[in-house]
Amino acid sequence: MRILAQGEAGIVVELGDAIDPALNARVRRLARELADRLRGRVLEVVPTYRSLLVVHDPLREPRTSLVRDIEGLARAVGEAPADDLERVVRIPVCYGGAHGPDLEAVAAHAGLPPAEVVSLHAAPVYRVYMLGFLPGFPYLGGLDRRIACPRLDSPRTRIPPGSVGIGGEQTGIYPVESPGGWRLLGRTPLHLFDPAAQRPFLLGAGDGIRFVPIDEAAFAELSSRAAAGGLAPETEGAAR
């Protein structure tokens, strides 16, 4: 474990140096403990792959005493089960065509038919390790290495919201329109980020994702429902 300063108001707690489900589960367990035990003393706790950021007001809470208490809680937090997903969210995806312009290239890189790439991509339950890069962008673990693919040499300047892509050995979903260099396999009609909603982010660290292939007709119908505010994701297991 390492504790590092991040500016005047941030404390970084590093619990390891790998992308690993068990390590990430421990990070999230510590994040819950810190948010609960240090309520009123910290402003925010942000979990990542292998570490977490604790934000505090240095004028109200001295760093020295806070670090001492963080160290004590970190030592007390034991291992957490790697299968402790909060819930599994089913994400409908229309693969290929205009929604997935890189599906053929990914298939060629993998030496597989496009249909098998879709099958392999939709097979796992992915872990949301963290959110970052864009508001609500989920970094997912669990991609089959057979379909891992390098990023584009020249990133696109505009990627539609809901686009599902592969970047190296990771997969993720673009929540808003943005530039990006990941290989696009498809697109979901679900809205991952709504700044006006009580809960702006559809997904959170500790969730699971299951991609569900749909056809163009289903995508159009679900997109209309999403635009009208009537599309809620299906979930498996207990919601938060």
> What pLDDT, in 10s, does the model give residues 120-142?
999 999 999 989 889 999 999 89
- Ordered strands of the 10-14 beta sheet: 2-6, 10-14, 51-55, 44-47
Q: What average pLDDT does this structure show over 72-99?
A: 84
- What pLDDT does 79 receive? 63
In which band, very low, low, confident or very high, does the pLDDT at 3 lie, cut at 50, 70 and 90?
very high
Residue 239 has pLDDT above 50, yes or no: no
Rounded Cα distance between 205 and 86, Å, is: 9
Q: Say if residues 145 and 182 touch (Cβ distance below 8 Å).
A: no
44-48, 78-82, 213-217, 227-231: range with lowest mean pLDDT: 78-82
Rounded Cα distance between 64 and 137, Å, is: 33
Using a pLDDT cut of 90, give the percent of the chain over it: 66
Listed in sequence order, the residues at least 6 apart from 42 whose beta carbon sits closer than 8 Å to its beta carbon are 34, 35, 54, 55, 56, 61, 66
- What pLDDT does 80 receive? 57
Residue 238 has pLDDT above 90, yes or no: no
Q: Which CATH number fits domain 2-76: 3.30.360.10, 3.50.30.10, 3.30.1360.40, 3.30.930.10?
A: 3.30.1360.40
Rounded Cα distance between 234 and 223, Å, is: 15
Residue written as token pair 């809901």? 162
Q: What average pLDDT does this structure show over 201-227?
A: 94
Q: What average pLDDT does this structure show over 87-111?
A: 97
45-59, 70-84, 180-194: range with lowest mean pLDDT: 70-84
- What pLDDT does 91 receive? 97
Nearest to 129 by CA among 48, 13, 45: 48
100-104, 107-111, 194-198, 225-229: range with lowest mean pLDDT: 194-198
Residue 82 has pLDDT above 80, yes or no: no
Q: What average pLDDT does this structure show over 162-172?
A: 95
CATH of domain 88-236: 2.40.100.10
Residue ranges of domains in the chain? 2-76, 88-236
Q: What average pLDDT does this structure show over 159-168?
A: 96
**Average predicted confidence (pLDDT) for the chain:** 91
- What pLDDT does 240 receive? 42
Rounded Cα distance between 179 and 219, Å, is: 23
